Amino acid sequence: MKSALTVGCLLLATLSFTSGAYAQVPFDPPQARDTQVQTAPTIEIPKDPLVAMYLSATLPGLGQIYAGNKTRGALFMVTVLGAFATAYASYEPAILKLSDYDAAKYGGNADGLLSTFEVQNWQDKKFQDTAFKSLSDGRKAGLITGALAGATLYIWNILDARSQAHDYNRELGRRRVTMGLDAGPHRVGLAVAVNLSPASH
């Protein structure tokens, strides 16, 4: 009985000692892992000014969009196409249809039927000058103004696309090469940093 009591006391003392030792050791939580989310970099490629000019010659404003200026490209697209649409709308009444050649002023006999002679006149596009002269002064002014404005804007759009591509490339170069002052306890100098990695937004 005494031996069992002695063993029990020793066991209790051992447990008390080990629990006290664990209590004195501060709990060290596991270190939180640094989580890094890497996103794929956006590679910025220099824009070819000749490609920009070709695109704007194909469709006004497309070269500006290619060079990264979507707003400017959309503005050129709307204004150039709008100017030519105005010119066409002003000229449209002077485009004679087959039925117009039945009228007496366009060489027809006004009988409501198309003769072989009237069809031949339509195929030869006769009396187009007469139809143009019959346009009102307002339509003639709209045609000339729209055509001139459209041609001017179209040429400007091509040259501007080239300029926008050059501007994009200059800005890309500035982002890749940065300069600044490097100051320390015993030095002052000019620091030049070249970013060779793909630029990211």
Q: What is the pLDDT of residues 137-162, one digit of tens each?
A: 999 999 999 999 999 999 999 999 99
Q: How many CB atoms lie within 10 A of CB 87?
A: 20
What residues contact 135, with CB distance under 8 A and at least 6 apart? 90, 91, 93, 94, 143
With a cut of 90, say whether residue 69 has pLDDT above it. Answer: yes
- Answer whether 0.75 is exceeded by the pTM: no
What angle do helix axes 137-176 and 70-91 make, rounded to 10 degrees? 170
The reported pLDDT for the residue numbered 112 is 73
Pairwise CA distance, residues 62 & 54, whole Å: 9
Q: What is the pLDDT of residues 93-103, one digit of tens each?
A: 888 887 777 77
The DSSP bridge pattern shows strands 188-194 and 177-183 to be: antiparallel
